Structure 1
Amino acid sequence: MRVFRAIEDITGGLPSPVATIGNFDGVHLGHREIFRRVRSDAARLGGVSVVITFVPHPLKVVPSGKDLRLISTCAEKEALIEASGIDVLVAIPFDRTFASVSAEEFVRGVLVGRIGIRKLIIGSDYRFGRSREGDVSLLQHLGGELGFEVDVMEPVGDGRTTYSSSLIRSMVSAGDVAGVVALLGRHFSLAGKVVHGHHRGSGLGFPTANIATEKELLPKNGVYAVKVKVDSEVYEGACNIGVNPTFSNQALSVEVFLFDFEEDLYDREIRVYFIERVRDERKFPDVEALKLSIAADVARCREILSHTRLIEYPSYLTGD
């Protein structure tokens, strides 16, 4: 996949580009259906498939009053878009100056002037440009004037639920990591470097890897059955997210105990896939009660993981 990180880097236009525009946080199954349509139409026209997005997310720049925690990091989003078979990614730097660009200026200067758009595929509720003034009607009007097609896709879902990034954020925040697979098309995951923590795990008989992650969205505090990728190998484990109330900690931590694993993980990058929530985090009266609970958690996690297949983002492309 070819990536443009500045509008100015696109010179001479692209060959018969068919594009879509959006934030695509999480790259869920609804986004992937749009990408599939973009790829199909680009192939039919002998052109390239293009995804246009913004870095950072516009709501990180334009005040909204929302505590927006993104499902994917920028690196994850790019990897997911590439795995979806897109030819070109245009990652436009979004700042207050760009936020002041009118919808019509964006269409004329970027979509037509730089990309040379031939066809645009968008959702029915898409808004863009200064103060979100641009909509489907404006795009269709300008498309007729400037010579590009506009196709509008209705919301994508399974007949009961419409796939959306906001719903996924809500589900993950509530700890529903099992249910969210149906919207994401994969298990929710986070990556990070293993760093030194309080070193209590070894004393409890369950040495844990403390993870420093850039992921904004974390599942609700508690214990989870997880699968963990170390290099190319996948291991099973139990993960605790929380503040370790038994020890009166205050800082939030993500700690993973890998089953049947004895290597040194410090300073290594690992990825944790959340399979199922086991219980809430809670405070125990003493260390012995905590140890008994951890042992029970590990047994429960082993049971869950013994019959669960890991779904990663490359595997869910099967059938495209």
Structure 2
Amino acid sequence: MRLIRGLTNLKRLSGQAASPLADGCVATIGNFDGVHLGHKTILDQVKEKASALGVPSVVMIFEPQPREFFQGKEAPPRLMPFRQKFKALLAEGIDMVLCIRFDDTFRSYSAMGFVEDVLINGLAVHHLVVGDDFRFGCDRAGDFRLLEEVGRAHDFTVENTRTVTVDNERVSSTRVRNALNVNGLEEAERLLGHPYRIHGRVVYGRQLGRQLGAPTANILLDQIPALRGVYVVRARIETGRWLDGVANIGLRPTVDGKRPSLEVHLFDFAGTLYGQHLDVVFRHGLRDEVKFDSVDALRQQITRDFEHARAWLADSSATPTN
């Protein structure tokens, strides 16, 4: 799968004689946050049509996501960071991902300017899969009907996305976030099609976990996470080995954390993980994130967290999930 970053690179690619877009493509547009069951159905629509036409399948996403651009810190928390989203789309068999920087320049695009520059001249789209409530362009002036009208004039077709429901309710990123917000890991798993996980790179931290007798692998997060608190986790390191442990995800209020992070302590592991990418699966909630009166009180709570986690893992019903 190929990643195209930005409109400049798209225009450069589309101008090449041997461009993979020379024969056009089938595309869809969206945030695809979480790549849940609803998203997977949309991706199947795109892949089926692309295969029938013999052209590449393309997913267009944005960084930052539009609501993050407009709402800043008030935007909904992300379900997954960009790298993890890209890998999830790769796993679904998409040929290309076009990632457009959502900034003041892009937001000022007129609806027709977007269609002409991006869809027609850039992607040479043959078929577009979007929801019938899709809006685009400056002041959200473009809609599904406009796409259909322009498509008839420029020889591309537009298809509405299929709706996927679980328990008679549409699957959406918002619904997954709402489930995670109340520690509904089982519901989130049903909506996603797999246990909720975060993939990220281990960086150097303040070494506080080591001082507390619980060394952690620290993963910085660019946005406030959908989950907050302490969890039993199962993590895969780059060797492919899976290890059980405990993770704190949030802002670490006891030590005045200012940037959201995921701190993972792996049971029965000795070694360094700096620079590696971990795949962290959330299995069971232990408690909310709390600000303790002292570091010593935090140390005591960490000991209890480990005891509770090991007890849960020892339960015969706690079947390992990869």
Corresponding residue number in structure 2 for 1:34: 42
- Stretch deviating more after TM superposition (295-304 or 76-85): 295-304
* Counterpart AA for 1:298: A
Which whole-Å CA distance do the structure 2 matches of 1:59 and 1:291 have between them? 36
Shift of 1:144: 1.4
Does residue 178 of structure 2 align to residue 170 of structure 1?
Answer: yes
Aligned equivalent of 1:213, options 220, 242, 251:
220
Distance 2:232 2:150 in 1: 51
Equivalent pairs counted in the alignment come to: 306
Q: Does 1:9 align with 2:20?
A: no
Instruction: Note the alpha carbon deviations across 1:132-173, whole angstroms, 9 max, x for none.
Output: 111111111111122111111243222523111122223333
% identical aligned pairs: 30
Select the residue among 141, 149, 162 that pairs with 1:141. 149
**How far is 1:176 from its partner?**
2.5
Amino acid at match of 1:181: E
Verify the 8 A CA contact 1:10 1:115 in the aligned structure 2: no
Q: Which of 281, 286, 307 is the matching residue for 2:319?
A: 307
* Structure 1 stretches lacking a partner, 5+ long: 311-320
Question: What is the Cα-based RMSD across aligned positions, in Å?
Answer: 2.8
Deviations 1:148-207 (A, max 9, x none): 111112432225231111222233333333321112222222223153445455655xx2
Deviates more, 1:37-46 or 1:63-72: 63-72
Whole-Å Cα distance in 2 between the matches of residues 269 and 64 of structure 1? 27
Q: 2:120 aligns with which of 102, 112, 115?
A: 112
Partner of 1:88: 96
Local SS of the residue matching 1:75: helix
Residue equivalent to 1:264:
272
Contact 1:25 1:70 in 2 (8 A): yes
Q: Identify if the C-alpha distance between structure 1 residues 199 and 99 changes in structure 2 by more than 3 Å, giving closer, same or farther.
A: closer
Q: Secondary structure at the match of 1:114?
A: coil
- SS of the aligned residue for 1:256 comes to strand
- Identify the range of structure 1 (254-263 vs 222-231) with the bigger mean alpha-carbon deviation: 254-263
Aligned residue for 2:255, secondary structure, equals coil
Q: Does 1:225 align with 2:232?
A: yes
The one-letter code matched in structure 2 to 1:309 is: T
CA distance in 1, matches of 2:233, 2:130: 35
TM-score, normalised relative to structure 1: 0.84
Contact 1:177 1:219 survives alignment (8 Å): no
Specify whether residues 104 and 295 from structure 1 end up closer, same or farther in structure 2 by C-alpha distance, changes over 3 A only: closer
Change (3 A) 1:86 1:203: closer
Separation (CA, whole Å) in 2 of partners of 1:155 and 1:48: 23
Structure 2 equivalent of residue 290 of structure 1 = 301
Distance, in Å, in 1 between the alignment partners of 2:311 and 2:289 is: 15
Letter in 1 for 2:31: N
Q: Is the 8 A contact 2:189 2:195 kept in 1?
A: yes
Inter-CA distance 11–257: structure 2 relative to 1 (3 Å threshold): closer
**TM-score relative to the length of structure 2:** 0.83
